[in-house]
Every structure is written in structure tokens, then in C-alpha cells.
Structure 1
Amino acid sequence: MRVEVLILSLLWPWAVSAQGFAGLGTEVEGFAIPQRGVELSFPSDHGPHPDFRIEWWYLTATLNGADGRQYGLQWTLFRSALEPGDKPGWQSPQIWMGHAAVTTPDAHYFTERLSRGGIGQAGVSASPFLAWIDEWEMSGDPSGEMRLTAAGPEFAYSLDMVAKGPLVLHGDQGYSVKSQAGQASYYYSQPFLQVRGTLDLPDGPMAVTGSAWIDREWSSQPLSDDQTGWDWFSLVLDDNARVMAFRLRGSDDYTSGTWIAADGTATPLADGAIRVTPVQYASDKRAEIPVTWHLEIPSHGLDVKVSALNAGAWMDTSFPYWEGPMFVSGSHVGRGYLEMTGYR
């Protein structure tokens, strides 16, 4: 292990608990707190918010290969702060972590990067938009054309993307509540990206097309004490509607989400409007993971089974979790992604 990676592992403020993985920790003194009624502003909010403790730029894609097979792809940049604000050079309290992955029907490739802020190895600029860690980059206009690159020991990818719909604000105009106690984040998405590019895999290059979804979220507030993890779905349906839905697991599960019409019109889904039930589990040396789900949103006639392309899509990174592409069948047909944390 490189010395700087060891140092970052020791300094990183995320513990192994679900709250730690969320990056929301237990201490918020001095950090900014999300407030209802704050209007998000673009392009500035595509950039970093160093006064908040945790933030991420998160892209997932469901892809069709020229070989007729289906693939999934993830690119994530996390920012976490040791203290509010920023300083130049090695004095910067901002720490960065990148994850990249490719999932096939029979393999899951992933890799991780860690960096300290302020020294040019990682960061985000709002205009023009550029998010990077080492040579990995997400760049362009989230409402227009974008480019994505990453590479690991067993894979690489390069994608061109174009937005075919608007940015979507979740919750109350971007203020997304996470518990009955009122913890919240700022949260928006770009769920309408069309994708074309190349995956470089052990068997060689593969041309792919498909759709991608970017999530942007930042906060400083801890989750509730009894919340042990979450199950987060992003689905693209056959009628071109989109669904974002999550369940935070606790003594009383908390659910929330957004129904996104084909034209981008967003309808918030309040706690209790979404029902998610695990149907089938996969055994893993780390945990029993629910890889098939029953998802219901009665207000929109959604009653579907959501099943993993590959049950082994475990991200065995410094802070492990499960993330992989999913199939949707039932009242609607489609594809999407599922992220699960806190299973152990």
C-alpha cells in the first residue's frame, strides 16, 4: 500500500457503519446544514460545496454491447471534509475517493482511487464542468454533451454522452429528507443521458450504447441513530419514465423517491408511497444480499420485480457495498441500477 493511501485510510472520516459509509458521520459542528427553501443554482451547483461535510458525483449506466450482451457501468467521485471550507495545497481538509466498475453477466470489475485535496490530484470545477481523480474524468455540460473516462487493472472505458431531458430536483425542489427526524440533503439528478462508447475488458474492446444517470448530493447531517443502511434504485422504464426510490433501513424504515415523467416532470414520492420487499438473496462471504426485489408504487400503477444482472456485483473497496445493474419486469419493463449499503 502506498504511504499516501495508508494515510488517507486513517484520516477518512467514514467508519464501517452505515452512517459512516453515508459519510454523514455523527459530528456536524461548524459544517453547513441543508435548509428547506434554498434554490439550487446551475451551473454553480455542479461544483463542490466545501462547507458541507460530504458530497458525491455519481454516474451509473446500463449498456448494450455489440456482442448482444448487456453491461453495467459505475463512475463515482466522493468528497469528504475534515473541517469546513478549503485551503490551498496540503492544508486542504478535503479528501477525495473515486470508484469505477464494469459489470457483465458473469464478471464484476472494480477499482478505487484515494487522494488528498489541494494538490491537483482530484477535484471538481463547475464551469466548465470537470470532475477528476488522477486520469479519471467526467466533463462537459450535464444539460448537454459529456465525456467519461476511467481505468482499472482489468478494465477501462470511454463514453460520450448527451442529455435528452432536463435536470431533476428531488424532494422539495432539491431538499431531500432522509428520516422522520428531518435529516436532509440537497439532491438532484440528470437521468436522461444517452451513451455511446467503448469498454476495454480482458476479452478485448466492446462497443456499447445505452443510457446513463448522474446523481448529485451533498449534506452534513448524520442519519438517524437506528438507520443501518439503504437500498437505492434508479430505473428507466419502457414508457421512458424514470423512477428514483430509496429505503433507509431502521426500526421504522423510511422511504422516499421521485416519479419522473418522460418529459422530465418530477413528482415527489413521500414516505410510505413506495413499497420495497426483498424476494431472493445471494450468499456472499461478506453478507446475505437481496438481489431480487418486489417494488410497488401504487399511485403510479408500478408493480414490478427488479432482478440483478449479476448477483456478485460487490464493491469490495475500502468501504464495501453492493452496486449493480438490474432488470425490471411486471407492470413495466425496463433497466436500472441498485445500490445497497449496511449489509454484513
Structure 2
Amino acid sequence: MSGDRISRRAFAGGIATLALAHRAKAQGYAGLGETADGFAKVTPGRLFTFPGDHGPHPDFRIEWWYLTANLVDSSGAACGLQWTLFRQAAKPGPQAEGWANQQIWMAHAAVTRADTHRFSEAFARGGIGQAGVAAKPFAAWIDDWEMKGVERTDDRTLSPVTLKASGNDFSYALTLEADRPVVLQGEAGYSRKSERGQASYYYSQPFYRARGTLIVEDIQVEVSGQAWMDREWSSQPLDTDQTGWDWLSLHLSSGAKLMLYRLRQKDGKDHPFGNWISATGETQMIAAGDIRMTPKANADVAGRKLPVEWQIAIPSRSFSISCKPLNPKAWMGTGFSYWEGPISFTGTHDGVGYLELTGY
């Protein structure tokens, strides 16, 4: 295992210093497996309200706005985009002004095709306007990367919004629209991460239709497809013996959606979680005992063996698929590194999605 293990669900602390003096292991990374004294706690029964919950929750230690898109260009070639904004509170308590503000922001952007994977990373301090999120009108930004609402953005669907980001050798600009409300993950938005109380608040907008442009090495193409946004916040999302996770968001050709992940433990007793989302937006949790997530093939990436091909089964739904990555080398070699990239799947159902691997 490497010490370079972090991503959306592991973004939780070391950047609070911005010194990045060392790359912490997953459990030591500002509270993934530590106590959350002074920060707000995640408890069942929260009443979600919009647009308020589209905005930041600074009393909690960690938070993210995380979007992935499965697209095709005008020639029919597949590609994927990632746009992520993370917020981290360096310490609890009232929000300080200006440079003394304890909120630290980090963002990742990526483009993945079969022949290339490009990524970029940005950091910012809270309190000075360089990065932040506003609930109404919705806007999430860091420097000139942004996910932004327009005059007619609906609070229930968080749609339409525009999205843009750029790196040294790529850029993209999308418009995202959805005609169904956001969906609450887990137990009415309470997403349990262990049997001992670790949890997050978690909702998604898995119904975005995406359209826009992608530029790689000065070549511009039109792209369109589907996108999925995750919103999650917590103060203590993992337990001390949890080492990482394998997470999938799946767009089924039927119009249904599926979110699955397994949290890996040191003793090998991994814990799977899942949520089935119908084409009309109704959700149903999947019992842990009904989820089979089996790695089928590894890829050698960044000095690691990563399980990039999977067999997924949910017997109660007669669901059995094989997942393959568009590009096995989709390594996010950012300051806090992980694997994230688009996948396709076939079997009893077919479609596309995204896979994230952390802790390897």
C-alpha cells in the first residue's frame, strides 16, 4: 500500500496546512479515522432543504461537489470528464475573516479518452474569494474553474448549470440539464460508512444530460452524453480499520442508475453499500448481502496493481455485469492520488459509468 491515497471521499485534512509536508496515509488524513471533536456530527433523520444544501456546510470538516460525465464526440468516440471541488475545515469554530479563514479548497479536473488521460489540480484559501460555493444563485468555483447556475436554474434539480475547467493541455465547457430532482443516497440521505457510527450526508444528481466542447492539444470536438454529480459532507467518514474503497456510478441503458461501493477493511471483511435509482428517480437501498463486487483483472499503474475490471452482481434483481475501463491508465497523479475513469459494462444490463479506486 502506498501513502498516496486520497480522493473525493478521502479528501480530509492534510491540505488544511497547504504545506503538504508529507502524504498521509488514509486513516491519518485529518479525521478519516480520528475523532471529530468540535465539528458537527452526522446523524440520521436530517431534513434536506434546497437550495440551502447545495451550498457549503462549514461546521462539518469535509465536503465535496463531484461531477463525472460519460460522453461521446461527433465521431462516436467515447470520453470522460471529471470536475471536483473539495472543501476542508482546518479547525472547528466560528468562521474567521480573510486569510485567517479556516476553509481550504482543492479542485481536480480530468479528461479521459482511450488514448490519453489528462488532469489538473488547484488549491485555494477560503475567505478571500478565490474559491467557494453559493447556494442561490448556485455557483461553485476555484479561480476560473466553475460549476454555475443560470437565471432559470431549478433548486430541486440543480439544473441547468454550466461547467468549465482547463489544464495545461486540455479544457472543456459543458451545459448540464436534468428533468428529475436530486436523489438522496443511503437512508434518506444518511450514508452509513461503518457499523460503528461513521457516516456522511449524501445526495446525487445522476440524471444530467451533458452537451458542450472538449479541447485536447488545441483540437476542439463537440461532445454529448450523461453526467452524475455527487454531494457529500461529513466530519468523520471512515473508521480506523478501513483502508480505502472501490466506488461505481452506473448509467443503465434502461434509464435506471446504480451507485455501488465497498469499503475495504484491514481484516478483509469488506462492507458493500448500494442504491438502485429507477428511471423516474425512486431509490431503493440494496442489502449488503445482496451485493457481489468481484475484481476480475488488474492493471499496472503508477507502481500499483489496480483492479480496473470488475464483475458486479445483485442476485435479487437478476443483475450481473462485467465492467471494463475506457483507459486502464486513468491515474489521478495529483498531490493526493487515486484512480478514476470512465467504464462501460455488459451483461444482463449494459451502459456506462465511472469507477474510483482509493487506498491501493
TM-score (structure 2 length as normaliser): 0.90
Whether the 8 Å CA contact 1:278–1:292 is kept in 2: the answer is: yes
Structure 2: give runs of 5+ residues left out of the alignment.
1-14
Alignment of 1:112-127 (within 5 A): 112-127=121-136
CA RMSD of aligned residues (A): 1.7
Distance in 2 separating the partners of 1:22 and 1:212: 30
Distance in 1 separating the partners of 2:236 and 2:181: 28
Task: Tell me whether 1:258 sits opposite 2:275 in the alignment.
Answer: yes
Q: Which amino acid aligns with 1:163?
A: A
The residue number in structure 2 matching 1:35 is 43
* Shift in Å, 1:182: 2.4
The residue number in structure 2 matching 1:107 is 116
Which of the numbers 46, 57, 80 marks the counterpart of 1:49?
57
Distance in 2 separating the partners of 1:222 and 1:259: 22
Task: Tell me whether 1:18 sits opposite 2:29 in the alignment.
Answer: no
Whether the 8 Å CA contact 2:17–2:90 is kept in 1: the answer is: no
Count of residue pairs the alignment pairs up: 337
* Shift in Å, 1:21: 6.0
* Shift in Å, 1:23: 6.3
Whether the 8 Å CA contact 2:193–2:237 is kept in 1: the answer is: no
The residue number in structure 2 matching 1:320 is 337
Task: Tell me whether 1:339 sits opposite 2:340 in the alignment.
Answer: no
* Shift in Å, 1:275: 1.1
* Shift in Å, 1:331: 0.6
Deviates more, 1:158-167 or 1:238-247: 158-167
Q: Secondary structure of the residue that 1:317 maps to in structure 2?
A: coil
Which of the numbers 204, 207, 225 marks the counterpart of 2:219?
204
- 1:145-175: CA deviation from partner (whole Å, max 9, x where unpaired): 1100000001000001101322110111100
Structure 1: which 4+ aligned runs deviate by more than 6 Å? Answer: none
The residue number in structure 2 matching 1:129 is 138
Task: Tell me whether 1:67 sits opposite 2:75 in the alignment.
Answer: yes
Distance in 1 separating the partners of 2:286 and 2:31: 24
Among the aligned pairs, what percent are the same residue?
53
Task: Tell me whether 1:268 sits opposite 2:300 in the alignment.
Answer: no
* Shift in Å, 1:277: 0.6
The residue number in structure 2 matching 1:152 is 167
Distance in 2 separating the partners of 1:243 and 1:19: 28
Q: Which amino acid aligns with 1:311?
A: P
Distance in 2 separating the partners of 1:7 and 1:22: 8
Deviates more, 1:309-318 or 1:159-168: 159-168
Q: Secondary structure of the residue that 1:228 maps to in structure 2?
A: strand
Distance in 2 separating the partners of 1:228 and 1:155: 33
Distance in 2 separating the partners of 1:47 and 1:322: 27
Distance in 2 separating the partners of 1:63 and 1:244: 19
Distance in 2 separating the partners of 1:98 and 1:340: 18
* Shift in Å, 1:27: 3.3
Q: Secondary structure of the residue that 1:292 maps to in structure 2?
A: strand
Structure 1: give runs of 5+ residues left out of the alignment.
1-5
Distance in 1 separating the partners of 2:166 and 2:218: 15
Residues 248 and 274 (structure 1 numbering): CA distance in 2 closer, same or farther, change over 3 Å?
A: same
Distance in 2 separating the partners of 1:313 and 1:195: 21
* Shift in Å, 1:298: 1.5
